[in-house]
Chains A and B, each alone.
Chain A
């Protein structure tokens, strides 16, 4: 299985909005609404930010939102804050009963 495709980096200024894409295939992202997003700060374990495409776990800011169209999922962060600077990964369940991550996107808050 191939890793999901994410941009290597994105950037934005405080207060702005950014969107990170995650492109897969009809066997993973396009097959189910089992896409999740993770935030990882350096030296830390990843943190769940979005699950089932667009659901936020308790405690995650509503500045984080997710969506999906066809084989591409997206994570949008609005009202960027300095603390949002981190690596972001998407993940999808697949039709082969496996899981696959995206390559990761480094978010820089300018």
Chain B
């Protein structure tokens, strides 16, 4: 059974860079049928797709975040990572990592709350 686990600081200062890592177990991150993505959810609000990476390194980003987001992948560690620069309080959210294809997001991490104080 595929499992994903987010890790990283729960508190990030304004203007600094948010960094999270997702560790994948029970399957290979090099699976050609899988994309690996980050989705976030501000408290009390809806889901927002942040970005996605393929095992080849091809990445895709939400246009509204593109200038601040970098997603990378480390196939040797079966991990992928998110970096979001110049954070503000508006970036406070539960961040989920997930495995998905074009048509479905079928495995989700438990989510990790990242708070940026105002």
Contact = CB atoms under 8 A, between A and B. Distances in A.
* Bound pair (A, B): yes
Q: Which of B60, B61, B62, B103 has the most CB of A within 10 A?
A: B103
A58 B43 CA distance: 30
Contact of A38 (B37, B105, B111): B105
A48 B111 CA distance: 15
Q: Chain A: interface residue count, which band?
A: 20 to 34
Contacts of A51: 103-104, 106
28 contacts: A1-B62, A1-B63, A3-B46, A34-B102, A35-B103, A36-B104, A46-B96, A46-B105, A47-B108, A48-B105, A48-B106, A52-B103, A87-B46, A89-B46, A89-B47, A91-B47, A91-B49, A97-B60, A98-B60, A98-B62, A98-B63, A99-B37, A99-B100, A100-B49, A101-B48, A101-B49, A103-B46, A104-B47
Interface in A22-57: 32-36, 38, 40, 45-48, 51-52, 57
B15 interface: no
Contacts, number: 64
Interface of A: 1, 3, 32-36, 38, 40, 45-48, 51-52, 57, 87, 89, 91, 93, 96-104
Contacts of A93: 102-103
Contacts of B37: 99
